[in-house]
Every structure is written in C-alpha cells, then in structure tokens.
Structure 1
Amino acid sequence: MSKIMDYYKELVGFLGLVMGENCEIALQDVSDEKHCIVAIANGHISGRKVGSPLTDLALKFIKSEVWKEKDYICNYTGKTRNNKILNSSTFFIKENGKLLGMFCVNIDNSKFIDLSQEILRLGFGGGIKSPSEALTGISTVQPSLNTTYTETENFFENPEDIVNSVFKEFYEEKKIPTDRLTQEEKMELIERLESTGVFNLKGSISHIADKLMVSEASVYRYRSKLQKMKQGMD
C-alpha cells in the first residue's frame, strides 16, 4: 500500500472518534475493487466492514474518470441496505495522475430528522401533515454547486448485491417474470449492469450468467454485441 494511503488509514480511526457514532469514515483502495475497504470507522451505519467492495457509485466514479476533473464530490445522497438515507462525500486520493483510493464520509442524520419531526408535531399539532417533506434533504452544510452529485450511492456488503439490485429494479420496472426474458431484455440488463461498472469486479460474470440463466460465454457475447452497437452509433 502507498505511503499516502497509510496516512489516510490513520485518519480513519481519528475522525471516526472525533465525528462520533453518526458518522462513518471509510478508506477505499481502488486497486482491489472486490475487497476495497481497507479501513472503516463506525461501519454499523452502512453495515460494511474491512474487505467490503466498492459501491455502485464509486465504480461509476472510476469508469467516468470524474476524479481527473475533481478533487472531491460533496453532499450527495447515500442509501444503506435498510433504506437509511445518508449525507455522503468522497475525496479522491491521487498520486502522479493516478487514482489510488477514495476517502469517504457518510453522515447519518436520521436521529436529528426524527427529533425535528417530533418537535414539529409537538409545536404545530396536526397543522403540518408531512413535516418530513420540509426536512428531507436539509444539510447542515450548504453544498457548493460544482461539487454536488445527483445520483444516489447504494452501500453493499458484496459485489453480488450490486447485481441483485439491478435485476430487482429491472423486474419491478418492467413487471415481467424472472424466467421469461427476451434477448432484447437481456441486452438491456447487460447495458444497465455496464453502467454500474460491476463487470470490473472479479466473479461478477459468473453471478450475472446465473441470474440470466445463460452461460458465461453468452454474457461475453452480449457485452461484445452491445459495444459494437455503441461504436456504430458514434
């Protein structure tokens, strides 16, 4: 591990204690995308631990190379497996024009939002039907317009969760049976999976093939066909 990464590793525990139990600090080493978290404080917030994989949004950061243009991205939305909403920020760790890792801060404001809602209920009685609508998205720090990110980051404990999430969303959206996918629908699923960057994770091909009920060779053919289609459109 780079000396720079060692430096940030020391910061994880320190900031975890300083910021308290409602703030998760995670250091991600991008050289091993399947087991990227090398240090984490207050991991109870997202349920992750050392050895957990990159998130779907972190994979997109790498694929889009947004880190070449920005040093950090602040105050975007994170979502845990139990649908807890977090205020998330990522600092890109770079050396000699290469991305080494990501230093991530995820703040759980749910306790404060719940408390604020209760205060509103006590103060206004039934006058405010939906106080959460007024509170959702409020941050203690006003984000800079050039550092906000509109996509939601989902936190997973393993790479298979990313694949399962994409499939679940696809089936719910299309309202189709899981065992009757047409070739066009399989291609659309492959395209969605490509956008997450999950194909960069070791073992993902095998899991995707099982979910599609095809061979791994078929998954490679779908990806190749999709890339040729995109090249034809350029």
Structure 2
Amino acid sequence: MHYTTALTLLTGSLAIAAPLDGRAVTQFPKGTSWDIVLNTKSLELSDFQKAPGTAIDIDLFDLSQPTNRIAELAKTKKVICYFSAGSREDWRPGAAQFRPSDYGRNMIWKGENWVDVKSPRVREIMKARIELAAKSGCHAVDPDNVDGYSAYADYVNYLASVAKQNNLAIGLKNALAIIPAVLPNIQFAINEQCHEFGECTEYAQVSKANLAVFNVEYELKDCSHPTGVVLSSVFKPLDLDTVGGQC
C-alpha cells in the first residue's frame, strides 16, 4: 500500500532500538474490532484515540517521528505499526540504506521496488524497523508487501522471530498461499479486499486458530462472514486517510 506523507525520520535513527523487556506479546483473538489509518497527514492524536475498535493499524514512521505519539496511543489502543517489509520506497529517508543489489523490479507505485528478501542487508534493515516499533511502544507490526513469491514464507517467519525477540505480535498481510507455513508464528492476519476477490474462505485456518482476521475493503462493502471465518471488516477509501468505516 502506497501513501504520501512528509517524514522527518533520519536514516541513522533506524539502527537504534531496544525491546520492551518483560512485556507479554499482545494477543489479537478472532473478532477483535479494529481501524486502519495509514495516511495520517490531516489527523491529530485525538482522532486516533477516538477511532472505533480496540486495535488500530497506523504508520510506524508517521507517528513515531519527529515526536513519538505511539506510546500515548498505546495506553488505550492495541497499536499495530505498519511498514513495508517487501519493498524499498524511495520517499523514505531510509532508502539510502539499500544497495542497488538489494532491490529489483518496480512495483505498482512510482518509486517503489521489490526487495531481495534473502539479502542479509535487507533483513537487517527490517530488523531495525521492528526494533523501532518496539522502542516506540507498538504492540504489533504489520509488515506489508510479503506476497510476491512463495519463498516469502521463510522471510515472514524470520520477521516473526525478530518480533518475538522484541515482545511484539506480528500479522500476515495478504499472502494467502503462505498461511499454513507461517500460521504458528503469527498473531493475526490482515487482508485487503478478500470479499472483492472471493478469497475470504482462505482464512478458515486463521479463525480456527482463534486469531483475528482484519479485513479492509475499498470498493465492495460486504460485511458477511464466510462459513468458518470470522472477519473484522472495515470499508475505507483507497488512501486510508479516514477514521471509521467499521461493519
């Protein structure tokens, strides 16, 4: 998911972070209500605090820099912190950390490229982002763009191990094909448009494991639950710049 916001995060600051010792990994049982707002440019902290739902998915960088608002938000919400784990975004200050060999073909959005998830440098960059999430007070991470190839299962499990070391929950974003391979290591799933694409039934394993399935639809407002699947659905504009829209 691409969104444009002015960021003031300095590249070097991604390297510093420490896990929140002693905090249990937050659980997201099926049926957990949620909201997702990734384009935060016109919103205040109070808007997020008033958002419907017990969990909220927000941009890690927007709310952690230059002033950390995540810790305050986390007092009343289960905060899921979004970042792209499968791509290099040239509008991020951290873009210079990637070597040319770390990324390849273009994605849909201008300035965004798939990364080599087997690259040790890419994994270190993402490890630092997870550590930043822990330091900022997030309860969980939402690593996006991990549905490019079947080989991403190993990558997601690596990210999950880093999240666990930092006492963070982690969700699987889309990537339906790798659900069985990563299910033991995730605490929730996030899906975009499973109703529109007829894919919601694929989450039966996740619901059976009593994990939340957070669904966002952009075109089709469908609040139904397929047999064996419990969805926590919201209907949003594509820019993901508004609060609310729960079923």
* TM-score normalized by the length of structure 2: 0.27
Q: Say which structure, 1 or 2, has more relative contact order (CA 8 Å, 6+ apart).
A: 2
* TM-score normalized by the length of structure 1: 0.28
Bigger fraction of residues in helix: 1
